[in-house]
Amino acid sequence: MAMYVLYDSSSRYALFDVHGLDEIGQNVEAVRSSASDFTRFGQLVKLSAFHPLQTPLDALNQVNAISEGLMSEELRSFLELNLPKVEEDIEPKFSLGVSDPKVGSCLFESMKIPCESNEFVQELLRGVRQHFDSFISDFKPGRFRKAKFARREKVNFNVTREDNMVIQTIFLLDTVDKDVHSFAMRVREWYSCHFPELEKIVNDSYMYAQLSKIIEDKSKLSEEHIPMLTEVLGDEDKAREVVKAGQASMGNNKRPVDLMTIQTFAEGVIRLTDYRKTLYDYLVVKVNDVAPNLATLIGEMVAARLISRAGSLGNLAKCPSSTLQILGAEKALLRALRTGGKTPKHGFIFNSSFIGRASAKNKGRMARCLASKCSIAARVDYFGESSGTEFGEKLREKVEKRLGSLHNVYVREKVLEDSNGTEFGEKLREKVEERLGSLHNVYVRKEVLEGIALTKNRFVN
């Protein structure tokens, strides 16, 4: 029974005829040993047909179809032209080896071609892949590199591959935040048995871990430690307060081995905190590369959380603004639907500065406006060709104007609420009376000046 192998390379499709199958059978070790030498492997596998590259974009579409287990019309034409014809009532006298079982099932359903995808076929394809440039001797090296670039184009330049880094980074950042908080609290509880007064002086956990590593044994605190403590605390008076508290501390003494263990753990907390800062800087850079307009509009952290919850930037761009508005508040939404309560007005976008600056009454309105602009920014980042931040800056200006108009409405409503009954009319009447009085004073002043001028003329005459 004859056997063919379909190789879907970056330079399109190639069909190989397997010779000597009756002698070796489907011996995997024989194929593996012969694959190291092209002379031996070339006697086993012969090139039957090759469909060369036309355009990089077309090659990319064909490779994507193969990766998804689909059969394109071009592949169908290539196989119908180069494989023996398959009749309906007669069993085929050949088989086709393919790399993906999904492709094999698709070919069998549509063209009734018997396909194989076992270890023997995989070894044959590995050898073909290794010696492919030797089979295609008349293929120019420059064009071969171009074909490889077309195959990798989607992986290297598709933003959906890049936003996976943002998703993984934001997950890792949340995990590191939890670990840093847990470990810092452990350092405080552990070291406070030795130096309890330090916990009241220093509130920051990162500084506390640094100080515990510098101080070590409280009984050895002296004036020599003040410069090092000042470098961490940034205040010499506070450093002297720490030294004074250490010399008069009521904590119990620890053995050197216990203090060494505490210092090692504190050093680990410091390294983990420093790594958290580095990870945050990396996330900021990555979000600005993947979604520059969305990051300009709403900030890097909120943008990263929206992308992470949606699953990708593409999914976020396809979300309507009403869905984007409540991303991060799914539990509250389900609880409201189950109990019949009020649905949430905002999810992750609540952490935006726009929502924070809005009044309590206008937070829902601001959330709707911001969600609609975020939806536009996500679509520009995903479907647009430019990588600038012009759209994000313009959308931010519009949101700022909307926030200002809502603030003016809030002030006007507050004035009306404070002016119950006729109080508002009375205030307006007082302003009119003041205006009338000022006009009357101007009239009187004018009459006096005219009288003085008339008297002066009579006196001169």
pLDDT of residue 389: 87
**Rg of the chain, C-alpha, whole Å:** 39
The residues, ordered by sequence, that sit 6+ positions from 395 with a Cβ below 8 Å of its Cβ are: 293, 297, 373, 376, 377
pLDDT of residue 155: 41
Q: Are 317 and 308 in contact (CB under 8 A)?
A: no
- The residue among 49, 36, 59, 51 whose CA lies nearest residue 84 is 49
Q: Is 381 helix (H, G, I), strand (E, B) or coil?
A: helix
- The residue among 157, 393, 201 whose CA lies nearest residue 297 is 393
Q: Is residue 388 left, alpha or beta, with left meaning phi > 0 and alpha meaning psi from -120 to 50?
A: beta
pLDDT of residue 271: 93
**Tens-place pLDDT, residues 126-146:** 888 787 777 776 555 444 544
Beta bridge partners of 15: 6, 49
The residues, ordered by sequence, that sit 6+ positions from 322 with a Cβ below 8 Å of its Cβ are: 371
The sign of the torsion formed by the CA atoms of 176, 178, 182, 184 equals positive
Beta bridge partners of 262: none
* 27 vs 32: CA distance, rounded Å: 9
CA dihedral 287, 288, 290, 296 (to 10 degrees): 100
pTM above 0.85, yes or no: no
pLDDT of residue 90: 75
CA 80 distance to own-chain centroid: 45
Tokens of 7: 């190789």
3-state secondary structure 70-99: CCCHHHHHHHHHHCCCCCCCCCCCEEEECC
Q: Edge to edge, what strands does the sheet with 12-18 contain?
A: 45-51, 12-18, 2-9, 94-97, 115-116
* 170 vs 176: CA distance, rounded Å: 10
Tokens of 439: 């006009």
Backbone angles phi, psi at 71, to 5 degrees: -115, 120
* 272 vs 357: CA distance, rounded Å: 33
Tokens of 26: 């489907």
- CATH node for 162-283: 1.10.287.4070
Which stretches in the chain have pLDDT values below 50? 141-143, 145-160
Q: Which CATH superfamily is domain 310-417 in?
A: Nop domain (1.10.246.90)
DSSP state at residue 344: P
